[in-house]
Amino acid sequence: MSRTIKRHPDAAWRKLDGQIVVVAPENGTLHLFNSTAGFLWEQLENERNEHELSQALCSEFETAAETARIDVAEFISEMIEKKVIESV
Amino acid sequence: MQKIYSIDMEIAGICVRFSGITEECRNIMEKRYGAFLSGEPDYEFTLNWTEKDNPALSWDVTMETREDCWLFYRRDFCAEWCPSTGKGCAVVDASEYTLDTMLRVWFSTILLENIGGLIHSAGFARNDKGYLFIGKSGSGKSTLSGARGDSDLLSDELVAVKKVADGYLVYGTPFMGELGIGGKNIGVPLDRFFMVDHEPPSGRFPINQAEAASELWGTMMCFDRRSHRLKSIMDFCTEMATALPCERFSFDLTQNLWDWMEQ
């Protein structure tokens, strides 16, 4: 089942030189995102489910659907662990 | 009966009156912070200089907020500070190192309230311009400070930076590292900053703004982890990384620092 994801409401973030920088609110750790993670983060301006994120990734980077699905799943797992996004 | 004194101390334009201090504490403060003991106090802090060791607490500093006051403490000191009244009090173990740690924590926190911060860096003033060489412990800040040539030392450990209308000001502090010398009590416009790396190859290398902000973040002294504070520090770091030139700097001390910088 496709989870719906949103940014942690207290996660501070900025875009510098095209690169997304995010601070995890619970431990104050700063994360520098690569282009894929940065793109997905920007997609989360509104709540999105995994399927929507995968489709957006496919369109943006012209990647295979299965590759995008894996990348999105990894992004979500990692960012939930870092507490910068959360399941709705 | 023991005589009690007060001392006014100013760093980066922030002046606090420490009251209730003993002669021993006063002597230590005059010796260690002499160049910074002046100013018109904006705040007041009562110090209880005594035996303080609570083994139930760790040596790491903890900061909590309670109503509108901060509490910060570790094994050898505890302090309370109320920003709304500008007053606080602390129980500090009778050691200059404990006092120095408490002062670093307090000044770093109050600077954050004033759009600034204490940054782990070596700072120099030369020709009315400030230069910061930022790095964590072991990055070579003190070594670099020893080779500062014809510039004024702002600190080899913790330099104060404040954002102002037309840029950033960098101030000397008495907080010293391995060099064992406090900084000069001056403030100058910050011209640029460098991320220090003592690994070869030596040289100056470009660094993008996101990396600069990220590394700046890692060297800002901060114990206040509230989300609005984290956001304001992030603003400070990203704006400074955007506004000022920054490079990675790996040094070669066989040359004069400033000759090499001008190459």
**pLDDT tens across B11-39, in order?**
999 999 999 999 999 999 999 999 999 98
pLDDT at B257: 83
Distance CA A53, CA A46 (A): 11
Q: Which of A14, A27, A32 sits opposite B234 (nearest CB)?
A: A14
Please give the torsion angle defined by the CA atoms of residues A78, A81, A83 and A87, in that order, rounded to the nearest 10 degrees. 80
Span B203-243, pLDDT tens digits: 889 999 999 999 999 999 999 888 889 999 999 999 999 99
Which residues have C-beta within 8 Å of that of residue B197, sequence separation ≥ 6? B135, B139, B248, B249, B250
Q: Which of B213, B230, B238 sits opposite A25 (nearest CB)?
A: B230
Distance CA B77, CA B137 (A): 23
Query: What is the C-alpha end-to-end distance of chain B, expressed in Å?
Result: 63
Q: What is the mean pLDDT of chain B?
A: 93
Percent of chain B with pLDDT over 70: 100
Q: Name chain B contacts of A19, Cβ cutoff 8 Å.
A: 208-210
- Check whether A42 has a pLDDT greater than 80: yes
Residues forming a β-bridge with A27:
none
pLDDT at B132: 97
* Nearest-by-CA chain A residue for B230: A28
Percent of chain B with pLDDT over 90: 78
Q: Average pLDDT of B130-156?
A: 91
Q: What is the ipTM of this complex?
A: 0.85
Span B100-139, pLDDT tens digits: 999 999 999 999 999 999 999 999 999 999 999 998 888 8
What secondary structure letter does DSSP report for A56?
A: H
pLDDT at B198: 76
b/e string for B120-141 if b means 16 or more Cβ within 10 A? bbbbbbbeeebbbbbbeeebbb
Q: Which of B119, B101, B195, B132 lies closest to B158, judged by CA?
A: B119
Residue with tokens 């070869």: B200
Q: Name chain B contacts of A28, Cβ cutoff 8 Å.
A: 222, 225, 230
- Check whether A1 has a pLDDT greater than 70: no
What proportions of chain B, in percent to the nearest 5, are helix, strand and coil? Answer: 25, 40, 35
Interface list for B 184-243 with A (CB within 8 A): 208-211, 213-214, 217-218, 222, 225, 227, 230-231, 234-235, 238, 241-242
- Check whether B88 has a pLDDT greater than 90: yes
